[in-house]
Amino acid sequence: RFHGEGYQEGYAEGSHVGIAEGRRYGSLHGARIGSEVGSYLGFALTWHCLLQTCTNKKNSKKIRALDSLIGMIQKFPYEDPTYDKLQEDLEKIRGKFKQVCSMLNIQSDFRTDTERSSLTF
């Protein structure tokens, strides 16, 4: 009897703690992804505006790549955590970002620190 009661109490407590821990982890992980994707969008929009001032053949390729990156970010399903291709789409965005950085001759090193958010390009 005591074994059964202890099991039930432990199961209920573990479920409660697991849900709270899962929410904390999900919030933290979601914030990191949001920060990363948001910085990519800001980067792409800024460079898009800068490159539009002088148009030539090289810049048109860069602008098309930036348009592609912006489009990918705008289609990213922020509100749907159950989206089955979330990680796959995030990897595609990261790859496109690296491609754009290569075209612009910019180092593509994105890092976030848990204490202080910082970006380095």
Q: How far apart are CA 84 and CA 25, in angstroms?
A: 19
Q: How far apart are CA 113 and CA 34, in angstroms?
A: 14
pLDDT tens column, 18-53: 888 888 888 888 889 889 999 999 999 999 998 887
Give the CA distances from residue 26 to residues 31, 67, 78, in Å, rounded to whole numbers and listed in that order: 8, 30, 13
Sign of CA dihedral 79, 117, 103, 48: positive
pTM: 0.73
pLDDT tens column, 105-115: 888 775 545 44
